[in-house]
Structure 1
Amino acid sequence: MNKNKYVFIGLVITTLISALDTNIMQTASPTIVNQLGGLELFSWIFVVYMLVSTITVPLYGKLSDMYGRKKLLMIAVALFTVGSILCGLANSMVMLIIFRGIQGLGAGGMIPLSMIIVGDLFTIEKRGKIQAVFSAIWAISSIIGPILGSFFVEAMTWRWIFFINIPIGIATILFLIPYKEAAAYKKTYIDYKGFFLFGISITLLLLSTSLSNPFWYVISGVIGFILFVLVERKEQHPFLPVTLFKNKGLLSTNLFMLIYCLSFYGTSNFIPLYLQESSQMSIYKSGLILLSIALGWSFGSTPAGKWIIRFGYKVLFMIGSIVTTVSGLILYLFIQDLSYIGLFIILTIQGFCFGLLFALGTIASQEFAESNIKGMSTSLQIFLRNIGTSVGVTIMGVIINHGVTLAIGMKNVFLYALILSFITIFLSFRIPEKTSPVGETALLK
């Protein structure tokens, strides 16, 4: 077994603990609240983790371009593991929330840095298959996570949902040790002032998605973001490099993925609820429908690398966005008439598009970028996906809550997603066909 395989195992484990944490927490959280109290603080267990893990993603990308991926990933895993230990030892809700922040500080680097290392080590053809493996891990975790959560709560104690991360975190670091980075990294100036303004602005905007009275948070976040742009225009070495926005390939791909995550990507969150309420379906059967997306995702992401070489980026982005839109139109028109099997097939098709486009987006963010900003470019796209998904799901939740019935609310959600999906079709025409030589990407038509 060569060293790359050891590294790959380490990256798989990193993805596994990230995926399991999300799914286990959802199952165990009611028990945690019963034992620690602080029901009014319940949502902050998730909000703090989400905030910290989201706003630190671009910083990890920036630092990885300066100090290398391996060191940063090992630090991120160590932070996550230490945070897990502290969470397991927490004896109050306030302590748990603080320690979840430490966990999130590590989680913010684990997935982006894993994707960056994959881009460094493997060819375009292999990256699609590797992303299919990572997608399968998330799918499996969505099934075994709640089971593990229930087991720890009932057979042991909720604290083991955190302590289980200790051996996994140690194993991850051990598998990463053999990895020798070939690239030379150049230490440059870090614009912490820009990162602070950026982080505060995004935090306020994300908080607005979790609070009942978001108006002033939105206003403050927008003002902060405008201030960030004004300050960064005068900065010689801005936190977000100018080349990220002058490069046509990166700009068009990132904008596409942001809007795409705002649209149909978040609708799957509400499908089980719709089936339970409208068809009186069991929790198990309604949740099982989401396996369709995982199945389609694997088939879509696996051949993505080979298809890029054969067809180029633009054609694949166009096909993926058009098929998503057509399947979304079917959902909008016929959601109330579709059988379980029919819905499963439609969601499998959408899952195929998700897998294909997410693989394309990740590879494009690496191949369109100059080598010295590849880490920042990859992490920025992952950050934009997270923002798009969070905001999109929040908007959908509001739309459903304002529907006269759940069925009408769901239909309105599909209409919202459908409108945005037409924008993604338009944006797909702006994406370059092929990766250009370094320094010439911005000239592509």
Structure 2
Amino acid sequence: MKKNRYVFWGLVITTLISALDANIMQTASPTIVKQLGGMEFFAWIFVVYMLASTVTVPLYGKLSDMYGRKKLLMFSVGFFTLGSILCGMANSMITLIIFRGIQGLGAGGMIPLSMIIVGDLFTIERRGKIQAVFSGIWAISSIIGPILGSFFVEALTWRWIFFINIPIGIASVLCLLPYKEQMEFKKTHIDYKGFFLFGISITILLLSTNIKNSLWLVILGIIGLIVFVLVERKETHPFLPVSLFRNKGILMTNLYMLVYCLAFFGTSNFIPLYLQEGSQMSIYKSGLILLSIAFGWTFGSTPAGGWIIRFGYKNLFIIGSFVTTISGLALYLFITDLSYFSLFFILTIQGVAFGLIFAVGTIASQEFAESHIKGMSTSLQMFLKNIGTSIGVTAMGLIINHAVNIHIGMKNLFLYALVLSLINIVLSFAIPAKTTAVSESK
């Protein structure tokens, strides 16, 4: 148990690195561009990191089922730290972008592998509470990150937003050292051909969400995925195991989570913008509104493990879907008339649904899967969440930008989310209630 405590803190620190990196760049990036030059490459600081960290998620899951979680997580943290050191030493925008790609290659394994280890070590009841802790880290980092970024830029140098990852990365690895994995991992053939086709196709599709007039990229990406499917059908050991898609629980849960992230998860990106432009609210106050989702998320995810034992997956997905839809309907109908505290309350309710759905979805991806593909199943769901969020945020951005004003834009955004949330309600009824592992303790 004591060793598990060290592992837990190692996972917490790993999550902290990821969360800080996601938020600390917001305030520091303008200064970085000003010093290094190359404003035309500004977006690529974020795009290349997002591409590298998203596309590699399934590969980390596959490798973790073959070689174990511990070594792979230590490698990903080490690779991320190396990328951070290189970013801190960058002397041009081009080199910074390249080094951000290296950083992203390491980041792709940090959160998925942490969640997989949580699934290996802890019972279903405890996993919900642990995910609540991780959610709290992201919430705190969303506030502390931009403040730290400003501090480093003004008091020291922007390079410290990367160098700060060095001691944190070392601490994470040291905490993981005592961890002894009990599972046996079976080394099999790695379908690099399939990963290459899959990775290139997804990269092209994600690029299309960040480039104007990108229809040809969408077509090329879809063609790539079709070729991937045709090639994989003939592969003895495919990159994405067929059992992942023959398993109804995994298939329906992943489809549900993809649509869920397409629908509502990106709305929080635009609410501070709406408050700033629509209500002339300060940046500080408009940012604090997102604490509502963080608070709700904690209350929704903490008891999720116990509720799974009591009510089963299906009922919780149905309840979470209805709560999300009803709160979304309230936002659609009253967004232009809500007071700050009324909006805070509705977003808190929606945060409870987010926390419940994400905790139950992660646990389901592990419990529905056989032990030898648990890592792949967990990482595949996280990959689909990233894809859904990326595409969803892009779609919402287009809706906002094409509206007459910000008020109409927000109403159209929530209408889009409502339509998809109705699809989620239908999908929730197709998810199995329980798994054979649901009552087993670890």
- The TM-score, its normalising length taken from structure 2, stands at 0.98
Q: Please identify, of 398-407 and 54-63, the stretch whose mean Cα deviation from structure 2 is larger.
A: 398-407
Q: Within 5 A, what are the aligned runs for 1:302-341?
A: 302-341=302-341
Q: How does 1:191-340 map to 2 (within 5 A)?
A: 191-340=191-340
Distance 1:53 1:437 in 2: 31
Aligned pairs (5 A) from 1:3-152: 3-152=3-152
Deviation at residue 437 of structure 1 after TM alignment: 5.6
- Aligned partners of 1:340 and 1:162: how far apart in 2? 35
Q: What are the Cα deviations for residues 51-78 of structure 1, in whole angstroms up to 9, with x where unaligned?
A: 0000000000000000000000000000
Hey, what's the Cα distance between the residues in 1 that align with 2:210 and 2:135?
Answer: 27
Distance in 2 (CA, whole Å) between partners of 1:332 and 1:267 is 12
Query: What's the offset of the Cα at 1:26?
Result: 1.1
Q: Does the residue aligned with 1:184 lie in a helix, a strand or coil?
A: coil
Q: Deviations over 1:36-65 (max 9, x none)?
A: 001101110000000000000000000000
Distance 1:268 1:137 in 2: 17
SS at match of 1:380: helix
1:348 offset after TM fit, Å?
Answer: 0.3
**Structure 1: how far apart are the matches of 2:109 and 2:120?**
16
Distance (whole Å) between structure 2 residues aligned to residue 21 and residue 273 of structure 1: 21
**d(CA) in 1 for partners of 2:42 and 2:286?**
26
Aligned equivalents of 1:265 and 1:42: distance in 2?
Answer: 25
2:157 alignment counterpart: 157
**C-alpha separation between the residues in 2 aligned to 1:157 and 1:288?**
26
Q: Following TM superposition, by how much is the alpha carbon of 1:436 offset from its aligned partner in structure 2, in angstroms?
A: 2.4
1:376 correspondence with 2:380: no
- 1:168 Cα deviation after fit: 0.6
**Once the two structures are superposed, what CA deviation does each residue of 1:309-340 show, in whole Å capped at 9, x if it has no partner?**
00000000000001100111111111111111
The runs of at least 4 aligned residues of structure 1 exceeding 4 Å deviation read none
Q: Which amino acid aligns with 1:311?
A: F
Shift of 1:25: 0.8
SS of the residue corresponding to residue 263 of structure 1 reads: helix
Any idea what the Cα deviations from partners look like across 1:58-109, whole Å, max 9, x if unmatched?
Answer: 0000000000000000000000000000000010110000000010000000
1:443 is matched with none
**Structure 1 residue matching 2:436: 3-state secondary structure:** coil
Distance 1:407 1:2 in 2: 53
- Which deviations, in whole Å up to 9, do the C-alpha atoms of 1:91-129 show, x marking residues without a partner? 011000000001000000000000000000000000000
Q: Is the 8 A contact 2:130 2:302 kept in 1?
A: yes
Q: CA RMSD in A?
A: 0.8
How far 1:370 sits from its partner (Å)?
0.1
Q: Does the aligned pair in 1 maintain the 2:85–2:162 contact within 8 Å?
A: yes
Structure 2: how far apart are the matches of 1:373 and 1:227? 24
1:209-240 Cα distance to aligned partner (Å, 9 max, x none): 11112111101101101111111111111100
Residue matched to 1:410: 410
**Which residue identity lines up with residue 229 of structure 1 in the other structure?**
V
Equivalent-residue separation in structure 2 for 1:229 and 1:437 (angstroms): 30
1:278 and 1:155 map into 2 onto residues whose CA distance is 33
Counterpart of 2:2, as a letter, is N
Letter in 1 for 2:206: L
Q: Would the aligned equivalents of 2:83 and 2:102 in 1 still touch at CA under 8 Å? A: yes
- Paired letter, 1:407: H
User: When the two structures are aligned, how many residues end up with a matched partner?
Assistant: 438
DSSP 3-state at the match of 2:266: helix
The answer to whether the 8 A contact 2:367-2:437 is kept is no
Between the aligned partners of 2:32 and 2:405, the Cα distance in structure 1 is 33
The Cα shift of 1:265 comes to 1.0
Tell me whether 1:428 sits opposite 2:428 in the alignment.
yes
Query: How far apart are residue 278 of structure 1 and its match?
Result: 1.1
User: Which is worse superposed, 201-210 or 212-221?
Assistant: 212-221
Q: 2:327·2:349 contact (CA, 8 Å) conserved in 1?
A: yes
CA separation in 1, counterparts of 2:16 and 2:213?
A: 35
Q: Which sections of structure 1, spanning at least 5 residues, go unmatched?
A: 439-445
Matching residue's letter, 1:274: Y
**Residue deviations 1:261-282, cap 9 Å, x none?**
0001111110011011111111
**What are the superposed Cα offsets for residues 394-445 of structure 1, whole Å, 9 maximum, x if unpaired?**
000001111011111111000000000000000000000111269xxxxxxx
Q: C-alpha offsets along residues 193-224 of structure 1, whole Å, 9 cap, x if unaligned?
A: 00000000000000011111211110110110
Q: Which moved more, 1:118-127 or 1:403-412?
A: 403-412
Measured in 1, the distance between the counterparts of 2:300 and 2:84 equals 34
SS in structure 2 of the partner of residue 72 of structure 1: helix
2:194 partner SS:
helix
Equivalent-residue separation in structure 1 for 2:436 and 2:230 (angstroms): 31
CA distance in 2, matches of 1:31, 1:263: 34
**Matched-pair identity in %:** 80
Distance 1:95 1:281 in 2: 38
Q: Determine helix, strand or coil for the equivalent of 2:284.
A: helix
Letter in 2 for 1:193: K
What residue in structure 2 maps to residue 169 of structure 1? 169
1:129 partner amino acid = K
TM-score (normalised: structure 1): 0.98
Q: Corresponding residue for 2:356? A: 356
Aligned pair in 2 of structure 1 residues 313, 95: CA closer, same or farther (>3 Å)? same
